[in-house]
Amino acid sequence: MLTVYTESEEETLNLGIKIGENIFYPSLIALIGELGSGKTTLVRGIARGMGIKARVKSPSFIIINEYPGVIPLYHFDLYRLNDPQEINSLGYEEYFYKKGGVVVIEWADKILEFLPSDYLEIRLKVEDLERRKLILLSRGDKKYSKLIEKLRENTKRGKIDVNTGNGNIPS
C-alpha cells in the first residue's frame, strides 16, 4: 500500500505519468473516488506516461474509449452505469482478459464483483479544493506491488516528487 497526497491537478497528472511510465501489460487499474477527485486527470497522466498522444477525455457517454499506442489503453468510465450487470453488454471480458493492453476503470466500485483477481486499486479522496489523497493497493497475487514500490521510491513523506525532471521513477 502507498498513500500519496497531491496538491494540484499538475501533481495528480504527474503521478499518473509515473504510473504510465512503469505500468506492465496486460494490467488493470481500478479507480475509486467521488466526483472531482481527479480520476480523469490521473488517466490523462497514465496515457501520457505510456506515450499515448491522443487527448484523453472522460468517456462518460460512450463508457469505453480506446487509445492506440505501443501498448493500447482502454479507458472505462462507469459513472452512468445503473446496474452492475450492464457491464455484460459491453463485452468487458474481452478487455479484462484478452486484449493485452492497459485497462483503467473510473467508478470501478460499481463492478467489483466483475474485476479479475489481480489489479491495482487506486482510491482517490478530496481533502480540500486542490489537495487529493490517493491510496494505491495491490489486489490479488501482489504483482502490482513492484509498481507501488517504484512509486514509493519517488515519494517524499507521502507526496509525489514533481521535480524529478522527466518524471521517471528510479529503478
CB 3 within 8 A of CB 160: no
Over the chain, what is the mean pLDDT? 87
User: Max alpha carbon distance in the chain (Å)?
Assistant: 44
Q: With the CA atoms of 40, 45, 50 and 55 taken in that order, what torsion angle do they form, in degrees rounded to the nearest 10?
A: 60
The CA distance from 93 to 161, in Å, is: 36
* Band of residue 59 on the pLDDT scale cut at 50, 70, 90: low
Side by side, the strands of the sheet bearing 27-33 are 64-67, 73-77, 102-106, 27-33, 119-126, 132-139, 2-6, 159-160, 155-156
Mean pLDDT of 28-42: 96
Q: Is the pLDDT of residue 49 over 50?
A: yes
Q: Is the pLDDT of residue 27 over 50?
A: yes
C-alpha cell at 101: 493492453
Mean pLDDT of 137-163: 77
The string of pLDDT tens digits covering residues 70-84 is: 999 999 999 988 888
Q: Is the pLDDT of residue 40 over 80?
A: yes
Greater pLDDT, 67 or 60: 67
Q: Is the pLDDT of residue 157 over 80?
A: no
Backbone φ/ψ region at 39: left (φ over 0), alpha (ψ -120 to 50), beta: alpha
DSSP state of 128: S
Domains located in the chain, CATH noted = 2-160 (3.40.50.300)
* Band of residue 123 on the pLDDT scale cut at 50, 70, 90: very high
The string of pLDDT tens digits covering residues 96-106 is: 988 789 999 99
